[in-house]
Amino acid sequence: MEIDVKSLHPLEIKVLLHVKESEQITAKRIISELGYKLGQCNQAFSWLAAKELISESDRINRRQYELTELGKAFNKIGFPAERMFNLLKEYGSLSLPKIAEMLGLDKSDVGSAFGKLSKQGIFGMNAEKMAEIREKILPPDILAARELVMRAVQGPLEEEQLTEDEKKVLQGISKKRGAAGAPFRLAEREEIIYALTPAGTGISKILKEKNITGEELGAVTQDMLADGSWKDKSFRSYSLNSPPSRVLLGRRNPYGEYLQWVKDKLASLGFEEFDGPLVENEFWNGDALFMPQFHSARDIHDVYYVKNPSHAKEIDQPYLDQVAATHENGWDTGSRGWGYEFDRDFTRRQVMRSQGTVLSAKQLPKAKIPGKYFGIARCFRYDQVDATHGADFYQTEGIVLGEDVNLRTLLGLLKMFAEEVAGAEEVKYVPGYFPFTEPSIEVHIKHPVLGWFELGGSGIFRPEVTKALGVDVPVLAWGLGIDRMALMHLGLNDLRELFTPDIESVRMRRGK
């Protein structure tokens, strides 16, 4: 394994520098010789072992006396006998029940401690049946126990390092299996003994060569800056390649970002944005676009009907009369119309907007000439939801009005979109069909990644559409299928993903 010495932690470095080849490396040794805490020792060993700089050479069982919770408490407040001794020292003499009450101990514990120390001649009972002290100091075994407890607070006591006397004391105050509370517990632990590997020896050499001691400074602290303690010291080099931790940040949804890019693009090309409500009526959604009310052309726009209220109160005049007449007999548009009786009830029926062209139609009565408009509109279709169909989705649509616009400027417009919005190199135009445009053109482009595909549909609005809405100049109408490019941009292949509620997948998503 290739090891970068910069990736080593000071705890590791010091161990590597400290031990020599073939020496035993144990926790005990490192704790005593390098002043590590046990936890630091364990960390250093496990890191070094993972890097194969040290390896296990042996395992031994260690017997240790460690403090129980009771033992830790004794360390803080003293042994019962010790506390009784100190209490009597202060008060002279007290009854046993009084002692128990003052120290918050069980009467039986007080009784047994008194009995034990009375035998050793430390305590005695006076004529008033009150306990009192007979010696100036506590007996050696209690003093020894007290000292052992204080030592054990620093860490467990290794059996092999104890004197015979100490062992004897400890055996008396250690918890036996099933026995009542005692300050110590005897634990058996397996300890691993490590040794440097050849790689470890190698790294150790490199460390020495580079004069890395493990004493280099880590993080710059406020204190360091305040007291100047950083001066004359070197800073530890950090590993450049350790994996950075994750940052959660605020950011755009990449699909929204893409739509915004398209909007900015269109605005930069001189288009003014329009928008409108989600709920429409049949008038704007179909009738105004010269789609006959009962013709199969409406089958391709299977729409969602609104239940409440099912009909709009009224349709704007004079457009209702003009559109109705256009459907019936062509009105003043030069058309013969569809030749059926226009249903003025049906036209008020409310639907969820099914095509972005609705907004284009609604813009016509208020449009400037010359004028260029666009909108990215959420639309709704009665469709089985799958990877290529959503219940609601965005459509990008717009119009260009002008005395001089014609088929060839339409092709120019499409070429501009192909190049500016899709980054296409090649463009192909084929006749298309839309109920509201004539002629109609589909634009196919050769996308650098996706190959040939249909970028959008377009055409010149039928005069039945424009004249009935008060516009006398030709109007180019266009729509761009940008979702396919958006999916590619986002590395997705399922339309449903664009509106996923899954937070993690949106966090991880990014544009190309």
Partner 1 sequence: MPKIEVLTKTFYQNIGRTYTDEQLEEILPSAKAELDGKDEEAGILKIELNDTNRPDLWSSAGLVRQLRTYTGKKPLFYDFFSNADEEFEYGNRIIEVDPNLKDIRPYITAFAVTGKKIDDTVLKDIIQTQEKLCWNFGRKRRSIAMGVYRNDLISYPVKYTAADPDTTKFIPLLMDQELSLREINEQHPKGKEFGHIVSGFPLFPFLTDSEGQVLSFPPVINSAHIGAVQVDDSELFIELTGTVHKDLILAASIVACDFADAGFTILPVKVVYPYETEFGKEVVTPYYFQEPASAELAYINKLLGMELSPDEAVNALKRMGVFAIYDNGTIFATVPEYRNDFLHPVDIIEDVMIGHGMEKFAPVMLDSFTFGRLTGEEEFSRKVKDVMIGLGFQEMMYNYLGSRKDYITKMNVDGSEYIQIANPMTENYEFVRASIIPSMMQSESVSGNAVYPHAIFEVGKVAFLDDDDNSGSVTRNTLGFLSADSDVGFNQISSTVSAVMFYLNKEYTLKELDDPKFIPGRCAVIVSEGRQVGVFGEVHPAVLENWGIQMPSVVCEIDLDLLMKDG
Figure out which of the listed residues 275, 345, 449, 512 binds partner 1, where binding follows CB under 8 A: 275
Least distance from partner 1 to the Cβ atom of residue 361, Å: 16
Q: CA 464, 466, 467, 471: dihedral to nearest 10 degrees?
A: -170
Q: Give the separation between CA 484 and CA 367, rounded to whole angstroms.
A: 30
Least distance from partner 1 to the Cβ atom of residue 180, Å: 41
Figure out which of the listed residues 114, 380, 417, 436 binds partner 1, where binding follows CB under 8 A: 380
**Burial level of 220, CB count in 10 A (0-12/13-18/19+)?**
exposed
Binding mask 276-315 for partner 1 (x = CB under 8 A): xxxxxx------------xxxx-xx---xxxxxxx-xxx-
Written as six digits, the tokens of 196 are 């440097």
- Which whole-number Å values give the CA distances from 207 to 12, 200, 213, 335, in the listed order? 11, 10, 7, 92
Figure out which of the listed residues 249, 345, 449, 512 binds partner 1, where binding follows CB under 8 A: 249
Name residues whose C-beta falls within 8 Å of residue 469's C-beta, 6 or more positions apart in sequence: 288, 319, 322, 323, 361, 364, 365
Written as six digits, the tokens of 286 are 């179909």
- Between residues 119 and 389, which has the closer beta carbon with respect to partner 1? 389
- Between residues 45 and 290, which has the closer beta carbon with respect to partner 1? 290
Number of residues that bind partner 1 (CB under 8 A): 104
Binding mask 382-421 for partner 1 (x = CB under 8 A): xxxx----xxx-------x-x-xxxxxx-xxxxxx-----
Q: Give the separation between CA 277 and CA 395, rounded to whole angstroms.
A: 14
Neighbours of 307 (CB within 10 A): 7
Interaction of residue 481 with partner 1, rule CB under 8 A: no
Figure out which of the listed residues 491, 499, 510, 511 binds partner 1, where binding follows CB under 8 A: 499
Least distance from partner 1 to the Cβ atom of residue 38, Å: 32
Least distance from partner 1 to the Cβ atom of residue 274, Å: 7
Q: Give the separation between CA 448 and CA 461, rounded to whole angstroms.
A: 31
By CB under 8 A, what part of segment 417-476 binds partner 1? 427, 429-433, 435, 438-441, 460, 462-464, 474
Figure out which of the listed residues 269, 325, 450, 488 binds partner 1, where binding follows CB under 8 A: 269
Are 280 and 351 contacting, i.e. CB atoms less than 8 angstroms apart?
yes
By CB under 8 A, what part of segment 213-242 binds partner 1? none
By CB under 8 A, what part of segment 317-346 binds partner 1? 330, 333-339
